[in-house]
Structure formats: C-alpha cells, structure tokens
Amino acid sequence: MVEYLPRSAWNARPPKAGPGNLTVSRVEGAVIHWPGTGSTSVIHSQAAVASALRGWQDYHMDSRGWSDIAYQVAVDQAGRAWTLRGLRTQSGANGDNDVNERYGAILLVLVTGEQPSAALKATTRAVIADFRKLYPRGTAIRPHSAVRPEPTDCPGDPARAAIARGEFTPGHSEDDDMTPAQMQELKNFIEARSQAYALWVHKQLRRDLSGVIRAYALDIKNYERQTDAADAARAAAAVWATAPKSLQVDGTPNQDPETPDPNTDPAPADPDLDPFPPVDTTPAQ
C-alpha cells in the first residue's frame, strides 16, 4: 500500500480552476515522465524533492499558465510518493487535451543519465496498481515520448528501458531484473552445465552397462561349463548301464582306451562362439 505525502509536504500552492476529474471509461493507461532539466545534480533528499516540486509548480502555473503542476503523482529515488494533482484529476503533462483525457501522468524525479532505483520502481508499481483500481481499463504503461504529439526524449533512456523491461508493471519482481548481457551469461551457464551433466550420465551408464555385460557373460560361460559336464556324465552312465554283456568284463564296462569312463567328468569344451561380443574394458576417459 502506498503512503502518499500530501501537498502540504512540499508546501504546494492552491491550484487554479482546472480540467476536473478523468472519465473512467476513457482512460487507457499511465504515462511515465521525468523533469528533463538537463542537470546531472541528483535530487534525493526529502527537502530537495519538495523544493524541486515547488519550482516546477511555479514554472507550470506562472510561465505556462496551467492550473497547477502538470503531473498527478511524483515518485523519487527514495521511494516516496508525492501527491501533486492526485490520481483522479486530469493532468496537463501528456500533450494535447485528447491525450490528457486518455492517460494519467506519473513524474519520476530523475536527472539526466540517472538509473531508476529499486525503491523508485517498487513505489511506481504500487502507484500504477492504485491507478488501475480507479481505471480498470487503463492498463497501458507508456513513456511520454510514445504519446506526445511533438517529439520529446521524456522520460529519458534509463526510464524508457525500464518500461520496456516491465519494471514498472505491478507484479514485477526486482529479482527478475537482468540486463541482456546477464541474461546471455545465465543462458550460457545453464547450457554448459546441462551438457556437462549429460556427458557425465553417458559415461556413468556406459561404465555400469559394460560391467553388467561382463558379469553376465562370465556367469553364462560358467553355467554352460557346469551344465555340459554334468550332462555328459549322466549320459555316459546311462549308456554303460544298458551296454551289451559282450562289452563288459566281469560285469564291468570294458575299459577301451577310446571309450569314455562314465565315472570321470570329461574336460569341458570351449564353445565355438562367445554368447556375447567382446567388451571394451578400457576405462572411459
């Protein structure tokens, strides 16, 4: 919630008869301004801002012949909000009468080349949120240079850039504020970390899979050796149990050198082909 300093805080003069209140149905948004003094001397303290506001009011009323200081609200670098004409009263700052009827006017107390502070931007967002409560259709946020019929550099390059980045839009977080260079640096960092992680996962999976394949292949070979030896012994015993008597001596099998001994396990034969292709055991680099 914004706490607006009253007109008495800057010792404002009473306004003359002016244009009256804005029409809710006509308002399209808020326009951002700056004083455009051409000076680089900052206006930061409360006393300095109050003095500057009185000077701008004198200029607008005495030199320009306007009814009051031209803007509705001012926001300074410390985040203070100052009541000028007030959000309901039509401004005289945007250009011709048509533009003033369609837009509000918020003054940022900035000097040439000065970047808007986080406090200024936060308060400006809150002021615009209040503005939108009064004028629900007035959602646009535009620099003065975008609406004034005659050319102007108002509200200066830093404020224009902040508008383009959405830094005056209600709901925007200062944590989101990043320069294009910072955004690119963050993008490069994320891409590099993603690639490094993908490579690490690939190496880990390859190493783990190679170990599984080697262990499985060894288990298969051992199983085949044991199974082949046992099957051969059982087959030999069965053959000799049913052999003709002529092949037996005193009831025991004839021990022909070429005849296998059923009680002796034959040497296991290596399979003709490995069940798996050879595995590269070279450590991954």
Ranges of each domain in the chain: 4-177, 181-285
- Taking only the tens place, the pLDDT of each residue in 185-199 is 777 778 887 888 888
pTM: 0.61
Cβ neighbors of 33 (< 8 A, separation 6 or more) are: 71, 93, 105, 106, 107, 108, 144, 154, 155
At residue 123, the pLDDT reads 95
- Taking only the tens place, the pLDDT of each residue in 265-275 is 555 554 444 44
Q: Does domain 4-177 have CATH number 3.40.80.10?
A: yes
At residue 22, the pLDDT reads 95
Q: What percent of the chain has pLDDT over 90?
A: 51
At residue 257, the pLDDT reads 45
Provide mean pLDDT across the span 48-77: 96
Could you give the C-alpha distances from 49 to 76, 108, 213, 225, 263, in angstroms and in order?
7, 11, 77, 95, 111
Q: Which token pair is 213?
A: 């394949």
